[in-house]
Amino acid sequence: MTFDNKAQTSAEFLLIFGSLILIIIASIGFISSENELTMAMVAARNGINEGTASAVSAIYSSDAYNEYSKEGNLLLIPFYVEIVNISYVDLGHDSAYDKQKIQFKVYAHSSKDLDKKELDSIGDRINYNLRKSIALTFESTKSTNKLYNPVFSPHHVFTTANVKWV
């Protein structure tokens, strides 16, 4: 009596191929989420660069300029800000938005001795541009407020912590 091994080979192939399909489907959600975080980090870096460039070159709206000039604010004089580090923390599931909440934190250093109010002003500009860049990247400007806080992507909600000056 002879046995045909062709059916056995086809069944093994289908089992392996089916398992591979299940693994790919299961990992798509993870890959998609990681891709979003990578895109958000790139957007955050671009926004931070824009925020520091406008802050250090002393370019302000007329209202901000008038306020700063009344106070004799040092921010009207160009200076240098170095971004030391950019990181994010996963704060878990936000039930209000039904998304993962991610908080960005920027660590920076200024070439000038500035007071807390001036550093906070620069930090606010950096964070604003960070959030704006993420909103533009994920085309979610219509689902956020004028300060882009919070910002949304398909699976995440992004916020920023105050810039930490080192």
The yes-or-no verdict on residue 32 having pLDDT over 90 is no
Structural domain containing residue 109: 32-165
User: Is 64 a member of any domain?
Assistant: yes
On whether residue 11 sits in a domain, the answer given is no
Asked if 102 and 91 count as a contact pair (C-beta separation under 8 A), the reply is yes
Structure confidence at residue 29 as a pLDDT band (50, 70, 90): confident
Rounded average pLDDT over 30-35: 78
Asked if the structure places residue 105 within a domain, the reply is: yes
Whole-angstrom distance, CA of residue 59 vs CA of residue 128: 15
Comparing C-alpha atoms, which of 166, 103, 100 is closest to residue 130?
Answer: 103
Q: Could you tell me if residue 8 is inside a domain?
A: no
Average pLDDT, the chain: 83
| φ, ψ for residue 106, nearest 5 deg | -110, 135
**Residue 3 belongs to a domain:** no
Q: Regarding predicted confidence, which is higher, 73 or 62?
A: 62
* Cβ-based neighbours of 163, under 8 Å, separated by 6 or more: 106, 107, 108, 119, 122, 123, 126, 127
Q: Which of 64, 67, 51, 59 is CA-nearest to residue 122?
A: 51
Q: Check residue 64 and give its pLDDT.
A: 67
Residue 75 within a domain? yes
Specify if 82 maps to a domain: yes
- In this predicted structure, the answer to whether residue 164 has a pLDDT above a threshold of 90 is yes
Give a yes or no: residue 44 inside a domain: yes
Which residue's structure tokens are 């004089």? Answer: 77
Look at residue 152 and tell me whether its pLDDT is greater than 60: yes
Region 150-155: what's the mean pLDDT?
Answer: 93
- Which are the contacts of 57, defined by CB distance < 8 A and separation ≥ 6? 78
Q: Please check the confidence at residue 75 and state whether its pLDDT lies above 70.
A: no
Categorize the per-residue pLDDT at 9 as very low, low, confident or very high, splitting at 50, 70 and 90.
low
Which whole number is the average pLDDT over 127-147?
92
Strands (E), 23-117: 81-94, 99-110
72 exposed, middle or buried (CB, 10 Å; 0-12, 13-18, 19+)?
A: exposed
Specify the number of domains making up the chain.
1
pLDDT of amino acid 132: 94
